[in-house]
Amino acid sequence: MDNDSNQDSDMRVNPIVDSYGRVHRSLRISVTDRCNIRCFYCMPENVKFLPQDSILTFEEIHRVVEILAKQGVSRVRLTGGEPLVRSELWNLVKLLKSVSGIEEIALTTNGILLKDQAEKLKSSGLDRINVSLDSIDRDKFKEITRRDALDKVLAGLDAAIDAGFTNTRINAVSVKGISETEVIPLVSWAQEQGLHLRFIEFMPLDGDQAWQDQQVFSGTMLRAIIETEFGALVPVERDRSSQPSTDFQLSEGGSHIGFIDSVTEPFCQSCDRMRITAEGKFRNCLFSTEEWDLKQLIRSNASNDQIEQRIRDGIQHKKLGHGSDSGRFVRPERAMYQIGG
């Protein structure tokens, strides 16, 4: 069947809207569940990864992005697992960059393979990079990630800057009992480097299923620690209402420090994000317990309209809030590396 046979009859944008009126413009695509480190809050030490033929090809991802871009999706983030372990990821960046309507392609990475790939990613059209880094102390980094790779991450960051990436953000997951000693050094380092640092609360999506609410190092606690050391934080206006982080500056002109308080202060009301897992399951929320299979449709020669309809079905089931801050919360079966953070 011609996949495009019935898709272009109506060129008007019909945005992807859920039953609460939230318009979805942002898509997070997991390109692999594999990773080259083992952050304890994400992945178990011993993992059975997906077989290669069960993950979406670049062409299949491109097709889904084209379908969604026609309906107003303009931002794509590539994630994983570790996206840079997917062979020649820059070719996917090139493909997606050519999609009309896509305004920004971003990447979330642990940075380990950036040194070798930063230039290719930049010349292929990647717009922005977030590097995950929870500590700038070698031993602490190893304790958290179960691998001795801090030097590689820092070299990767340097390579990204040399390749011309700007607005690079650092994502740091904060966990009580582990991150207390890391907060001030991280803030000082990020300020020196002129990098935008964002603290993310530990969410119940760890592969070991050992998360406990006492381990959540809340944004409120973090801000208090930072203010004790550096003085009052200066609030910064949001770039977009759907921006998940609340940003501050240490002082006028300093780089931003953001707090993604997903557990203690969920921002579901303004969420505009959709997700596709590496094996092609559509998810309407990080914490969703339901998924909609796109790969099965794609590989059975379905039309673009059928694929779009399945996504719309999934978005209609999006809940008003994920509830991780309430007693009614049901933990998803998947861990973060299996969804795509």
CB atoms near residue 65 (< 10 Å): 22
Of residues 321 through 340, those in contact with ligand SF4 by CB under 6 A are 336-337
Q: Which does 124 bind (CB under 5 to 8 A by kind): ligand SF4, ligand SAM, none?
A: none
Are 233 and 187 a contacting pair, CB within 8 Å? no
Shorter beta-carbon distance to ligand SF4: residue 111 or 219: 111
Q: Does 336 bind ligand SAM (CB under 6 A)?
A: yes
Q: Does 81 bind ligand SF4 (CB under 6 A)?
A: yes
Q: Does 258 bind ligand SF4 (CB under 6 A)?
A: no
H helix or E strand, kind and range, residue 129? strand 128-132
Report which residue's Cβ sits closest to ligand SAM.
341
Distance from CA of residue 161 to its chain's centroid?
20
DSSP state of 261: -
Q: Which does 38 bind (CB under 5 to 8 A by kind): ligand SF4, ligand SAM, none?
A: ligand SF4
DSSP state of 175: B
Both tokens of 304, joined, read 């673009």
Q: Does 97 bind ligand SF4 (CB under 6 A)?
A: no
Q: Which does 202 bind (CB under 5 to 8 A by kind): ligand SF4, ligand SAM, none?
A: ligand SAM
Both tokens of 234, joined, read 């200066």
Shorter beta-carbon distance to ligand SF4: residue 30 or 245: 30
> What distance in Å separates the CA atoms of residue 12 and residue 175, rounded to the nearest whole number?
46
Q: Which does 117 bind (CB under 5 to 8 A by kind): ligand SAM, ligand SF4, none?
A: none
The least distance separating ligand SAM from the CB of residue 335, rounded to whole angstroms, comes to 7
> What distance in Å separates the CA atoms of residue 202 and residue 218, rounded to the nearest whole number?
9
Q: Does 42 bind ligand SF4 (CB under 6 A)?
A: yes
> What distance in Å separates the CA atoms of residue 64 and residue 60, rounded to the nearest whole number?
7
Are 208 and 193 a contacting pair, CB within 8 Å? no
The least distance separating ligand SF4 from the CB of residue 340, rounded to whole angstroms, comes to 9
> What distance in Å separates the CA atoms of residue 77 and residue 130, rounded to the nearest whole number?
10
Q: What share of the chain is helix, strand, coil (3-state, %, to 5)?
A: 30, 15, 50
Q: Does 145 bind ligand SAM (CB under 6 A)?
A: no
Q: Does 38 bind ligand SF4 (CB under 6 A)?
A: yes
Q: Does 132 bind ligand SAM (CB under 6 A)?
A: yes
SS3 at position 77: strand
Q: Does 201 bind ligand SF4 (CB under 6 A)?
A: no
Are 49 and 33 a contacting pair, CB within 8 Å? yes
The least distance separating ligand SF4 from the CB of residue 87, rounded to whole angstroms, comes to 17
Question: Which positions touch ligand SF4 (CB under 6 A)?
Answer: 35, 37-39, 42-43, 80-82, 110, 132, 336-337
Question: Which positions touch ligand SAM (CB under 6 A)?
Answer: 35, 41-42, 79-80, 82, 108-110, 132, 171, 173, 200, 202-203, 205-206, 336-337, 341
